[in-house]
Amino acid sequence: MERIFFKFNKEIFSKRGDLKIAPLNNTYNWNLRQRIFNIVIFSMGIFIIIILAGILITLFYGSFPALKKFGLNFFINKEWDPVFNKFGSLPVLIGTLLTSFIALFISIFFSLSISILLGEYFKKGGFSNFIKTSVELLAAVPSVIYGFWGLFVIVPLIRTLEIKLTLPSYGVGIFTASLILAIMIIPYAASIGREMIELVPSDIKEAAYALGATRYEVIKKVILPYSKSGIIAGVFLALGRALGETMAVTMLIGNSNFIPKTIFHPCNTMASVIANEFTEATTEIYTSSLIEIGLILFFVTVIINLIGKYIIKKFTIETRRENG
């Protein structure tokens, strides 16, 4: 009996999805339609893969002249000089790393405290909903508006600060861009952190409470160590965001292709140099160098994203398995 049922099942849901039992109303050619449907969804699926492959091939193809001309020196050369066709990405790479890591450093404290607040102190209720909605709203504001706001509010503030500190008063610069970037990435790290903290099984928390631990001690000695890898993954994903963020940074970083002396100097990130110069690039090697920067950006963000997602997936599955 079981065997017959299995066979029946297999026939209906066979891989091609063909229905073996002829329908009563035989005026339609179901089989043909079925085949067309299968082909259509298959080709749509394949098309997604083609898009991704196409992106990779296009980036490689576009950056080929620069790859050939500069080779590995592209990473080491300090000069970015379109007039003399000299392109080295070192200033841009330094600018990108500095802005992203300063932003990460500023945001980590805030995003951690929001994840603790929403994951442990206020899991439900009005206050929690209010904070959650606000943080989601923070993520929904378009990047160009952050840049615009930063240009009119943060830049004058930074400029006064710089005058007080007797620094060159650019206003725009790495620090300004990092500040806005920090605000922009807090929601991502915070929402992942909250999910990871919520995954911590309640029995181990209860065990700690039963031993007489205060809530602070439970958070510090049980929750954070347990969800550590997940929280780090959240930080990773936020870093991926920060590296690829374009508009706000373009408007606030000052766009100068020199290695910055301090973090108050203007600089450029990989994304902002592309945004600023791509439509102006006249020579082939210029465009090609910009595309190569795009290629580097692509690989860095994709790898960071995949690592972050992998850690989260592993953590989630392991936690679920351990706790049924």
Partner 1 sequence: MDKKIIFRIFKDKLFKFIVICTSGLVLIPLVFIILYIIKNGISVINLEFLFTLPKPIGEAGGGIIHSLTGTFILIILASLFSIPLGIGAGIYAVEHKKSKVAKIIIFSVEILQGIPSIVIGIIGYMWLVKPIGQFSALSGGITLGIMMLPIVIKATEETLKLIPFSLKEAAIALGVPYYKAILKVILPSAKSGIITGILVGIARISGETAPLLFTAFGNNFLNFNIFKPIDALPLLIFNYATSPYKEWHKIAWGASFVIVILILVLNISTRLVVKKWRT
Q: Which 290-309 residues touch partner 1, going by CB under 8 A?
A: 290-291, 294, 297-298, 301-302, 304-306, 309
Shortest Å distance, C-beta 263 to partner 1: 20
Q: Number of residues in contact with partner 1, rule: CB under 8 A?
A: 85
Provide the minimum distance between the beta carbon of 102 and partner 1 in the complex, in angstroms, as a whole number: 16
Compute how many other C-beta atoms are within 10 angstroms of the C-beta atom of residue 159.
18
- Out of 135, 174, 185, 233, point to the residue binding partner 1 (CB under 8 A): 135
How far apart CA 237 and CA 186 sit, in angstroms, is 11
Q: Which stretch binds partner 1 (CB under 8 A): 66-74, 98-106, 221-229, 273-281?
A: 273-281
Binding track over 92-111 against partner 1, x by CB under 8 A = -----------------xx-
Alpha-carbon distance of 82 to 39, in angstroms, equals: 49
User: Distance between CA atoms of 311 and 233, rounded to whole angstroms?
Assistant: 6
Candidate list 141, 161, 259, 263; residue touching partner 1; CB under 8 A:
141
- Residue 275 in contact with partner 1, rule: CB under 8 A: yes
Please report which helix (H) or strand (E) contains residue 81, including its range. Answer: strand 80-81
* Rounded distance between C-alpha atoms, residue 46 and residue 48, angstroms: 5
User: Measured from the CB atom, is 17 or 168 closer to partner 1?
Assistant: 17
Q: Does 84 bind partner 1 (CB under 8 A)?
A: no
Give Cα separations from 52 to 59, 144, 291, 298 (angstroms): 11, 26, 16, 11
How many residues are present in the chain?
324
- The answer to the question of residue 113 lying near partner 1 (CB under 8 A) is yes
With CA atoms as reference, report the closest residue to 192 among 146, 241, 144, 145: 241
Nearer to partner 1, 98 or 179 (CB): 179
Residues numbered 237 to 256 that lie near partner 1 (CB under 8 A) are 240, 243-247, 251
Nearest to 249 by CA among 155, 154, 181, 169: 181
Q: Which of 97, 138, 161, 263 binds partner 1 (CB under 8 A)?
A: 138
Of all helices (H) and strands (E), which one includes residue 243? helix 228-244
- Chain positions 180 to 219 lying near partner 1, rule: CB under 8 A, are 183, 186, 214-217, 219
